[in-house]
Homo-oligomer: A and B are copies of this chain.
Amino acid sequence: MSLTETRLAETRYTISEVEARTGLSQHTLRWYERIGLMPHVDRSHSGQRRFSDKDLDWLSFVGKLRATGMSVADMVRYAELLREGDHTFDERRELLERTREDVKARLAELADALQVLDYKIGFYGGKARP
């Protein structure tokens, strides 16, 4: 193997390694794949999953989407659109933009609730905010 051809074999992770890295349970990881939220994961010769770094990146992004409160159905939709290729570009952007607006609304709502909470806690003579 020449120098230019030299590269690390792609790192491959078992499902329990991915569980440890992402905090997602093995159950959830398999379920994600079943419902189409995860592109089909590579298998070992004996059929066991071998996740790639790309898979981990995707899971990380999915984690962000999940944090936004996006429904699993919408995340699956997004994943489908990705698989379908370039002509779904616009719809993907719209989906993300809609989600962004939702997040902003949630942020405002949370900030408001936090104020009320602060007020109440002040009433209880609670710890001053650090």
Residues of A at the B interface (CB closer than 8 Å) are 61, 64-65, 67-68, 89, 92-93, 96-97, 99-100, 103-104, 106-107, 109-114, 116-118, 120-121, 124-127
Closest to A129 in B: B100
Interface of A is mostly: helix
In the bound complex, what is the Cα–Cα distance between A36 and B116 (angstroms)?
Answer: 22
Q: Are B97's CB and A126's CB within 8 A?
A: yes
Q: Contact check: which of B64, B107, B116 meets A116 at CB < 8 Å?
A: B64
Mind listing 24 A-B residue pairs with CB under 8 Å? Answer: A64-B112, A64-B113, A64-B117, A65-B113, A67-B109, A67-B110, A67-B112, A67-B113, A68-B113, A68-B117, A89-B124, A93-B121, A93-B125, A93-B126, A96-B117, A96-B124, A96-B126, A100-B114, A103-B110, A103-B113, A103-B117, A106-B110, A107-B111, A107-B114
